[in-house]
Amino acid sequence: MRIAIIGHQGQLGRALQRALADHELLGLDLPEYDITVPEPLQQALRVFGPQVVIQTAAYTHVDGCARDPGRALRVNGLGTQNVALACQTLDAALLYVSTNEVFAGDQEEPYLEYDPPRPINPYGYSKWVGERFVEQLCRRFYIVRPSWLFGGPSSFVSKILALAQERDELAVVDDEFGAPTYAPDLAEAITGLIASHRYGIYHLVNEGWCSRYDLAVAALELAGREVPVRRIQLADYERSSTPPPRALLHNFCAAEALGIRLRPWQEALAACLQQE
C-alpha cells in the first residue's frame, strides 16, 4: 500500500514509519511541506499517488494556541482542510490524528467516539475544526483521537524527567486526568485500523487512566529518579490554556469491532523508559 505520512518527523510520525515499514511510504514535513501552503503538498501527493494519507502535522503547543488562536486555526483547521481537499482530488483515504481536547472534560465517565465534542480551549477547538473539514470533504476517512501522547522529546514524560535533573522538587497537578498514549503503540493500532478499511471515528489510547501527578510519579520511579513531587491543583498552575480536567477516552469502536486494544499505560510507560 502507498501511504503518505504528513508530519513524519514528529514523535508519532517516526513511530508510524517503523510500524508501516512494509509499505511504500512518503514522508512530508516542514520546512519543505507546510500544510498551510497547499500547492507543494498537493503536487507531492499527486506525484506519489497515495492510497492513504496520514495527517499528523499540527500546531500542538497548547498554551501557544491559547495565546495565538488564529495560528492554531490556520494550521490545525485550514491546514487540515488543505490535506482533505488533496485527498478528495486523489480519492485517497485520510487518517486524521485529533485529540482528547475536543471534549470539555466535565463528565465522570470516559467519552465514547460519537459523544458530542465541546472544546474549551483554542487548541481543542482548532483540532475539532480539522475534524469537521475531514468529515465534510472526504469520502473515506478515519478520525483518531489519542490523549497525552508520549514517546518523544517534547512529551510530558520527557519534560518531567528533564526537570528532575534540574530541580530538587517538582509540583504537578493531581486534578487533571487522562489516558497516556505511547506513540509506538498508537502507531501499531493505526496500522491495524488502516488494514481494516473500516472508516469512522476511533479513540485509540492505552488502557487505564491517571492524573498528571500519577504519571509523573510513575515515570520518576521507573527511571530511578528520587525527586519529591508535590501535589497542586489546576487552579494553582498558571498557564495560558485551560485544559479539560477529565477528558478520558474510551476505546470502544476499535476494540469491539476490530479487536484493537492498546496495553495498559503502565506497561507502555515501562517499555518506553526501558527503550530510552
Q: What per-residue confidence (pLDDT) applies to 187?
A: 98
Q: What is the mean pLDDT of residues 158-184?
A: 96
The answer to whether residue 187 is domain-embedded is: yes
- With respect to residue 24, please indicate whether it lies within any of the assigned structural domains: yes
Rounded average pLDDT over 243-247: 96
Q: Is residue 43 part of a domain?
A: yes
In a domain, 27, yes or no: yes
What pLDDT, on a 0 to 100 scale, did the predictor assign at position 213? 98
The set of catalytic residues is 123
Tell me if 269 is assigned to some domain.
no
Q: Are 159 and 212 within 8 A, CB to CB?
A: no
State pLDDT tens for residues 53-97: 999 999 999 999 999 999 999 999 999 999 999 999 999 999 999
Q: What is the CATH number of the domain that holds 54?
A: 3.40.50.720
> Is 9 among the domain residues?
yes
- Cell 497548547 belongs to 62
Whether 276 shows a pLDDT value over 80: the answer reads no
| Structure confidence at residue 237 (pLDDT) | 84
pLDDT band for 164, please (50, 70, 90 cuts).
Answer: very high
Residue 230 neighbours by CB distance under 10 Å: 10
Number of domains in the chain: 1
User: Are 50 and 2 a contacting pair, CB within 8 Å?
Assistant: yes
The predicted pLDDT at position 184 comes to 98
Interval 148-166 mean pLDDT: 94
For residue 154, pLDDT beyond 90: no
How many residues are given for the chain?
Answer: 276
For the chain, what percent of residues have pLDDT higher than 90?
96
Do the domain assignments include residue 215? Answer: no
- Check residue 214 and give its pLDDT: 98
Domain containing residue 100: 2-147+183-207+250-263
Does a structural domain hold residue 190?
Answer: yes
The yes-or-no verdict on residue 10 having pLDDT over 80 is yes
